[in-house]
Structure 1
Amino acid sequence: MPLYVLRLSLEHLSFRLPSLLSISQVFGFKIKFVSEDPYRGLLVVEVAKEEDINHILERDTLIQSATELYAQGTSYEELQTELRGKLDVLKPYENSTFKFTLESTNHRVPESRAVEVIETFEFTGLKGKIRLKDPEVEFVIFEDYDWEVASTVDARYERDGKFKYVFFGRRIGFGTARHLTLSHAVKDRAYYGNTAMDALMGFLMAGQALPAPGKLIYDPFVGTGSMLYAVAHWGAYVIGSDIDGRQMRGKMKGKNVRPGILRAAAQYGTEDKFLDCLTYDVTRSPIRRGGWIDAIITDPPYGVRAGAKRLGRKEGKKPQREEPYMFPDGTYSHKRPEYLPPSRPYELANLCLDLILLARYLLVPKGRLVFFLPTVNEDWQEIDIPKVEGMRELKVGEGSVQDFGKWGRRLITMEKTAVDDGLPPTFEDHDEFDLKSGPEYLPGHHGFNKRYASGFSSRHKSQTASPASDRDPSSSEHQAAPPAKNGLEATASLAAALEKTGLAE
């Protein structure tokens, strides 16, 4: 199959391959990653036809451009020797107007040398006219440099030409999805809140849900709707719910007679994709049947900017009354516009497990659950993701992580492998997270909001700690994550992960 060079943004490197794999699954084509190191500025891939590359250019927000690869090497001598042996690939374009472009990653090539390099390709024998503006075909030379800070002009000239790889090919096109990060920028949105997801991350996350026309996607912690704008852009119908309807509605006075979520959706031309946004506690959901949602995508609240809540009284408070309270004027408390039902905190570890159980019930077979899980990096382990029969985690390499130093947000993507709906979740507090029972292990996201507020103080207990400390969440024994792998180990790990999950050849 033909090879292509993808030039990608160096942002969010761990999200790169999952994004490409998801696009290949939406459009039903196979993609193989050929580059030895898939996290450089240029990525060589193998796909069957150019149409598949166009799908990537239209959909991937990290893609800058794509080029059909004709030759490569670690030097110009090596590259041109290979190209001389396959000049027949240029025959379809020998009479077309053309131009040559020299580009580089992690470096800026001086214009004078760029001209010199281009002139060495005179042997290609192209007969068409050179046209620098709007040529029929553009040939591209890529120099791929290692990352290095060249703080002075002299330093830049010193490293010029010391690239690691060089590629030559025909430009297919430029990424058209890149502009979505600007058109959907939160600061320009008609309605947003303090928990709104930035546009780039929203689209990267949305891609994992495999949105497409005719699909139905649900966000059970919808907030101000950031997740749904992205999936609706790709044609999916969406539903949202939240325990606090004020987040979805916003201010609805004067001319703003529609909920804030719908005003923002209208701004993006996707209001017709929003079936409804409902106010209810997901643990008391009115949904009465499973197996009809194509994907669930959400960014659950974890207590830093907004905390997760569920209906009920906090521990130690008076139990909730069985009957509604009636005011002297004969009105019931729960029917007043300003009424807010009593709520209690929703422990993130319980929420995470409940969310997976809910997905097991609501999703169609092969439906996806996509959510962010904040974790303390020191305490993260693979077993932190609850194992639920009928659901499996899809992960490439070490997984997609937005790293903030001591903590990070891990993008968890799961697929429903079961063919039945199963029983609806009961949403009872899970015994394995009951501190009173003195658990031997707590996942890295347990009590995340308190850990965040305390500066992520270590859970590691000393060897002389008293048995009572086993019941103290701030001192529970917990092994840290293994040290980061070097480049070769990471590449081997990635290859093994792809083979194991069956996501790529």
Structure 2
Amino acid sequence: MPQYILRISLDHTSFRIPSLLSVSQVFNFAIRFISKDKYRGLLVIELEKEEDVHHILARDTLVLSACELYASGDTYEELHEQMKGNLKVLEPYLHSSFKFTLEGANHRVLDKRVTETVESFAYTELKGKIQMKDPEEEFVIFEDYDWEVAHTVEARIKRDGKFRHVYFGRRVGFGKARLLPTVHDVKARAYYGNTSMDSHMGFLMAGQALPAPGKIIYDPFVGTGSMLYASAHWGAYVMGSDIDGRQIRGKAKGKEVKPGILRAAAQYGTEDLFLDCLTYDVTKSPIRRGGWVDAIITDPPYGVRAGAKRLGRKEGGRPLRDEPYMFPDGTYSHLMPGYLPPSRPYELANLTKDLVQLARWLLVPGGRLVFFLPTVTEDYQEVDVPVVEGMRELKVGEGSVQDFGKWGRRLITMEKTAQDDGPPPTFEDHEEFDIRNQPDHLPGHHGFRDRYATGFSSRKKSENASPAGTPPVLEPVVSLGSGDKV
């Protein structure tokens, strides 16, 4: 099968292989990775037909361009020797207008060497017109350099030509999806909040849910809707819910009464794909039937900017009323404008376990659950990912992680393998996550908000210093560097 070389971004390198695989799964084509090192600026893959490359260029936000690969080598001598034995690949383009381009990955090639390098391909004997603007064909020479910071002219001159590998091929196209994160930039969005997901990360997450026309995708912690915009862009119907309707609605602007999420959806031309965004506690969901959602995608609140909550009162607080409270004028409290029901913290370990159980019930067979799991770097273990029968984790290599030093966000993608819906989740607190029971291993994300606030101090030290069941003492304020505080 033909091979292609992808010029690919060095941002979010642990997400690149899952992103490419998700495109291949949406369009049902096989992809084989040829490059031994899959995290360089150039990636060689094998595909059955060129049509598949165009699917990648149209959908993958990390791919800058793609070329059909004709020859490669550690040196130009090796490259030319291989190319001279493969000249038949150029026959369809012998009389086409053309140009040659020399590109360096992780390096800008010196201008004085470009002409000399291009002229070394004179043996190809292309007979078409050389046309530097809008040629029919563009042939590209790629030099692949190791990453190195070379800010000075002297440093650039010193490393020029010291590439790791060199490639030659024909340009197939440029990445069309590459600009999507800029188009969806949060700061230019009609409605956003301090919990809104970075637009590029939103597209990388949405890709794992395999959005496509006709599919239904649900976010149970929708917030300001970041996950839904990216999913709807690819034609999926989307819906969301949140315990706090204020995030969905936002503040009205002038005479505009449309909820904030729909204002942003209208900005992107996807408002018609938003089925609805509802206000309810996911643990008290009005949904009564499982097995009809194609994907669940969410970034659960874990306390960096907002903590997860569920209806009820904190342990030791006043019990909930059996009947709604009535004011002397006969008005019920819960019908008053701005009413907020009492809530209690939702432990992240319980939330993630419940989320997987919800997916087990709500998804169609083969449906996907995609969510971020915050992990403390020194404590994370693979067993921290909730295990529910009928759901399996889809993992590539070490997984996709957005690293922040002491902690990171690990992208978890799971697939429903069960063919039945099973029982709906009960959303009861799970005993294995109760610190007072002293389990053998607490997930690294257990008590994440408290641990974040204390700078991720050693868990053993903090637990030994406090009586069982007593929360650690928190520092008063932690700045996140962007004006947000917890």
Aligned residue for 1:52? 52
RMSD between superposed Cα atoms in Å? 1.5
Aligned residue for 1:326? 326
SS in structure 1 of the partner of residue 459 of structure 2: coil
SS in structure 2 of the partner of residue 367 of structure 1: strand
Aligned residues: 473
Q: How far 1:472 sits from its partner (Å)? A: 7.3
Tell me if the contact between 1:348 and 1:445 (Cα under 8 Å) persists in the aligned partners: yes
Aligned residue for 1:115? 115
Tell me if the contact between 2:466 and 2:472 (Cα under 8 Å) persists in the aligned partners: no
Aligned residue for 2:197? 197
Instruction: Give the whole-Å Cα distance in 2 for the aligned partners of 1:181 and 1:360.
Output: 31
Tell me if the contact between 2:436 and 2:468 (Cα under 8 Å) persists in the aligned partners: no
Instruction: Report which stretch shifted further, 314-323 or 247-256.
Output: 247-256
Aligned residue for 1:172? 172
TM-score, normalised by the number of residues in structure 2: 0.95
Q: How far 1:460 sits from its partner (Å)? A: 3.9
Instruction: Give the whole-Å Cα distance in 2 for the aligned partners of 1:460 and 1:329.
Output: 55
Q: In the superposition, relative to structure 1, how do residues 472 and 113 fare at CA in structure 2: closer, same or farther (>3 Å)?
A: farther
Instruction: Give the whole-Å Cα distance in 2 for the aligned partners of 1:233 and 1:390.
Output: 30
Aligned residue for 2:128? 128
- The Cα offsets for residues 444-491 of structure 1, whole Å up to 9 and x where unpaired, read as 1001010000001012459xx97987877879xxxxxxxxxxxxxxxx
Instruction: Give the whole-Å Cα distance in 2 for the aligned partners of 1:155 and 1:466.
Output: 53
SS in structure 2 of the partner of residue 29 of structure 1: coil
Q: How far 1:152 sits from its partner (Å)? A: 2.0
Aligned residue for 1:229? 229
| 1:198-277 equivalences in 2 (<5 Å) | 198-252=198-252, 254-277=254-277
Aligned residue for 1:381? 381
Q: Which runs of 5+ in 2 are unaligned?
A: 474-486
One-letter identity of the residue aligned with 2:281: D
Aligned residue for 2:146? 146
Tell me if the contact between 2:435 and 2:468 (Cα under 8 Å) persists in the aligned partners: no
Q: How far 1:408 sits from its partner (Å)? A: 0.1
Tell me if the contact between 1:301 and 1:307 (Cα under 8 Å) persists in the aligned partners: yes
Instruction: Report which stretch shifted further, 153-162 or 230-239.
Output: 153-162
Instruction: Give the whole-Å Cα distance in 2 for the aligned partners of 1:52 and 1:101.
Output: 24
Instruction: Give the whole-Å Cα distance in 2 for the aligned partners of 1:74 and 1:112.
Output: 21
The answer to whether structure 1 residue 392 and structure 2 residue 411 are counterparts is no
Aligned residue for 2:28? 28
Aligned residue for 2:75? 75
SS in structure 2 of the partner of residue 51 of structure 1: helix
Aligned residue for 1:407? 407
Instruction: Give the whole-Å Cα distance in 1 for the aligned partners of 2:360 and 2:284.
Output: 17
Aligned residue for 2:478? none
Q: Which runs of 5+ in 1 are unaligned?
A: 476-505
- The Cα offsets for residues 270-289 of structure 1, whole Å up to 9 and x where unpaired, read as 00000000000000000001
Instruction: Give the whole-Å Cα distance in 2 for the aligned partners of 1:255 and 1:59.
Output: 37
Tell me if the contact between 1:458 and 1:474 (Cα under 8 Å) persists in the aligned partners: no
- The Cα offsets for residues 5-53 of structure 1, whole Å up to 9 and x where unpaired, read as 0000100000000000000000000000000100000000001000000
One-letter identity of the residue aligned with 2:250: G
Instruction: Give the whole-Å Cα distance in 2 for the aligned partners of 1:301 and 1:469.
Output: 27
The answer to whether structure 1 residue 417 and structure 2 residue 428 are counterparts is no
Segments ≥4 residues shifted beyond 6 Å: 465-475
One-letter identity of the residue aligned with 1:246: R
Instruction: Give the whole-Å Cα distance in 2 for the aligned partners of 1:194 and 1:225.
Output: 12
Instruction: Give the whole-Å Cα distance in 2 for the aligned partners of 1:460 and 1:280.
Output: 37
Tell me if the contact between 1:457 and 1:474 (Cα under 8 Å) persists in the aligned partners: no
- The Cα offsets for residues 227-251 of structure 1, whole Å up to 9 and x where unpaired, read as 0000000000001000000000011
Q: How far 1:151 sits from its partner (Å)? A: 3.3
One-letter identity of the residue aligned with 1:199: S
SS in structure 2 of the partner of residue 140 of structure 1: strand
Q: How far 1:171 sits from its partner (Å)? A: 0.1
- The Cα offsets for residues 71-106 of structure 1, whole Å up to 9 and x where unpaired, read as 000000000000000100000000000000000011
Instruction: Give the whole-Å Cα distance in 2 for the aligned partners of 1:432 and 1:466.
Output: 19
Aligned residue for 1:42? 42
Q: How far 1:155 sits from its partner (Å)? A: 1.5
One-letter identity of the residue aligned with 2:6: L
Q: How far 1:179 sits from its partner (Å)? A: 1.1
SS in structure 2 of the partner of residue 221 of structure 1: coil
One-letter identity of the residue aligned with 2:359: A
SS in structure 2 of the partner of residue 432 of structure 1: helix
One-letter identity of the residue aligned with 1:168: F
Instruction: Report which stretch shifted further, 100-109 or 250-259.
Output: 250-259
SS in structure 2 of the partner of residue 178 of structure 1: helix
The answer to whether structure 1 residue 309 and structure 2 residue 309 are counterparts is yes
Instruction: Give the whole-Å Cα distance in 1 for the aligned partners of 2:152 and 2:190.
Output: 43
The answer to whether structure 1 residue 454 and structure 2 residue 454 are counterparts is yes
Aligned residue for 2:484? none
One-letter identity of the residue aligned with 2:259: P
Instruction: Give the whole-Å Cα distance in 1 for the aligned partners of 2:126 and 2:319.
Output: 84
Instruction: Give the whole-Å Cα distance in 1 for the aligned partners of 2:467 and 2:406.
Output: 23
Aligned residue for 1:368? 368
Instruction: Give the whole-Å Cα distance in 1 for the aligned partners of 2:466 and 2:330.
Output: 52
Instruction: Give the whole-Å Cα distance in 2 for the aligned partners of 1:255 and 1:151.
Output: 52
Tell me if the contact between 2:67 and 2:171 (Cα under 8 Å) persists in the aligned partners: yes
Q: How far 1:440 sits from its partner (Å)? A: 2.1
Instruction: Give the whole-Å Cα distance in 1 for the aligned partners of 2:472 and 2:254.
Output: 50
Aligned residue for 1:282? 282
Instruction: Give the whole-Å Cα distance in 2 for the aligned partners of 1:23 and 1:443.
Output: 32
Tell me if the contact between 1:440 and 1:470 (Cα under 8 Å) persists in the aligned partners: no
